[in-house]
Amino acid sequence: MSYAESMKRLEEIVAALEAGGTELDETLKLFEEGSKLLKECKNELTAAEGKVEKLRLEDVE
């Protein structure tokens, strides 16, 4: 799942949880999925960090 997809799904989960009315089982499942997505999103931010690279045209061809 891309970052954008993860955030979108997270938004759905938050909306579902906020609306309430889900069964306890479902609630726990949503909570678990939401926590997992939050962690993934945070990891995604770290993954974007690293170094700046300079490539010569001759080297990339």
By CB under 8 A, name the binding residues for other proteins: 2-4, 7, 10-11, 13-14, 17-18, 20, 22, 24, 27, 31, 34-35, 38, 41-42, 44-45, 47-58, 60-61
Please give the DSSP secondary-structure letter assigned to residue 48.
T
Taken in order 51, 53, 59, 61, is the CA torsion positive or negative? positive
What whole-number distance in Å separates Cα of residue 37 and Cα of residue 24? 20
Q: Is 7 helix (H, G, I), strand (E, B) or coil?
A: helix
Residue 18 Cβ vs other proteins, minimum distance, rounded to whole Å: 5
Q: In the complex, what is the shortest distance from the CB of residue 14 to other proteins, in angstroms, rounded to a whole number?
A: 5
CB of 5 to other proteins, least distance (A): 9
